[in-house]
Structure 1
Amino acid sequence: AMVSPVRPRVALAVDAAELWRAVPGVLRTPTVARRLHRLGFDDLESYLRDRYVDQRASLQAIARELSACSRETVLRALHAYQIPQREWRTPRRYRSAPAEVPPPPCGHLPDGTPYYAPLGTLEYDEDLQRVRCHLCARWMRWVNHTHLATHGWTQEEYLEAFGLSWGRALHTPELAEHRRTWMRGALATDPRLREGLAMGQERARRGQLVALSPRRPPPLETRLHVKEGQRSDATLALHRKRREAAVARQLREEQEDAAAHGFVDFPSYWRARRAAGWTLVQIGRELGRHDPWIRLAMAHVEGRAHLTPEEAEHAHTTRRRAALAAAEQRARELGFATLSDYLVERRGRGWGQKRTALELGVGFKMVRAALLLCGLEPIPVVRPSMPRSRRTG
């Protein structure tokens, strides 16, 4: 059935003040202003002309994107800015012919979907200052989630299907610069953003973000950039300069860490820890460094970045002997002649491995090894059963 548009009862404004007063109050709040600024628009009028006129977004989509207001509120704002309302048309899926004829497709995806821009790149027109959507060939400032939803796609599906980099911003460089300016201002004024950024940088420095990142093959856009960059002498010189700077920074950090632990240089620190049977994980924990940093430091000292199986076994044996010696000393401090006497007495009192490990100051597995060496069978760990109400299947 044909839906007649709602005619808002708002008089046409004459000057800027009256024009702003004619806009509904729910769209004149600071929250909406910040949201417009975050989207790359200076005022509400430019946003409405871009979304409603250029991108032909629906009133419901605009209402949701702004402040979850009603469709009639958006209509009143359009009337206040003298933006003509589009005539109601049959939904696109029921039309006999498309409103705009797209150019010939560049190709088809494996499922038969045509695309109208080269794979692995986001086509940009400097004259129009617009990027092209692969699905419909339209030029837009931002191929956002609202537009992709009209095609039945999500941003993740769009990036994967057309070979774009993960986290790729699907908007123009002008809009990207505007958002960078906004973010710099937000970082200067909001301490919570600075705290979150510092926390993320610290986790990245320690290598904790590598385990959280998804294991995905490099997209086509990244491979094209790498292939193109490998042919350039300037790119090779830049990579060489960055590599030299990274090596110099690594050596400086090694010297600082060695001095902080009372050693003249880093090789002296490294050989002392390795002679004590320390593993790479233990050294990394003491220095607060991630695994790639530790292996690169090992390459600087020993000329290799991995332990041989014999060295790993020797480190394990040395660490085990040191832990057993510490447990033996602790047992003597508690009034026992040997560690075996201590374990037999605690076993007779019904102590478990965890409580014993806590008193001795060693790990749970080390207590199990000590029990086996003393001829005692470790107490099996009985895991509590899950309540029937929480079981699935």
Structure 2
Amino acid sequence: MRIHAPIGQMLTDGERVRCHLCGRWFLSVASHLRVHGWSKADYIAEFGLELGNPLSGPATRERRAAALLARRVEPAIRHAQQLALARSRSGALALAAAQAARGRPHPAERRAKTLATLAGIDPQARAEGTRRRARQHRERLTREVATRFGFTTFEEYLADRLGAGMSMAAISREAGLHKDWVSRHAPPAVPVVRGGADRLSPAARRLGFADTAAYLTAAHVEQHRSVASIAAEAGVTRSTVLAALRRHGIDAVPHATKRHLADTRGRAVAESLGFPSLRAYITDRRDAGLPWTALAAETGLPATTLRRHLAVTDSTY
């Protein structure tokens, strides 16, 4: 399709405007579009024009404005103007405009106007405006979060949650924010603790342990609890628990609870068959030439479990 006018622009000779589709000149292209089978909305979207573009020349717009001005004494016109003014003052008009534009590509006509306007603004002033809007947005969010959880200020809410042993990620999620929001925007007046072990200390003391190392040793090594279970109990993330384990020299065991239960069951099976351990049983049966399927049938354990206990790669059956 040949285009007879630039994208994002209505060519005008002062009185008329040019149609992008056929190149002819009209007082108003809007009334001409039915000849091409186009709607005004489709035409505006296709050629990057603003939603409010009347698709008419300056002279036509002036005549229409003068005609409307002459009718301003009519009750219906005055009532409509009062409603529009009220919406504008309340901010409802700006909100409706933002919602209408959401998800819609920035039209070329509006983009050109925006760039021209920004070019006339000092870069430092633009940067300051951006920082001011970001600061206002943070203040609004923190007020909403503090009010929702019954605190006067966000600092009080944050101090309370940190004192309870919650991580910054957990606090962010509780507040309905991105998991890194508190870490990035925590008020400087709040002493934010950033060490994984320190974040576990309140939970350790609450559960009766002297320190984090004693808590992790009891929970992960002696009780064979998983990292996820410890994290849920302490109100922190798995990463925090893993970091604390590394810091205290404790090896993290993947799926600790399940593996401990499997090992316990394996020992019970071996003892019932007269062997001191499952490994001894497997070695004896494999040396006798029994396949893995026979061992699985005799013990009631999966062949994969038996293989893991022997740590072999033999795949014969």
TM-score, normalising length: structure 1: 0.32
TM-score, normalising length: structure 2: 0.39
Q: Which has the higher Rg, Structure 1 or Structure 2? A: 2
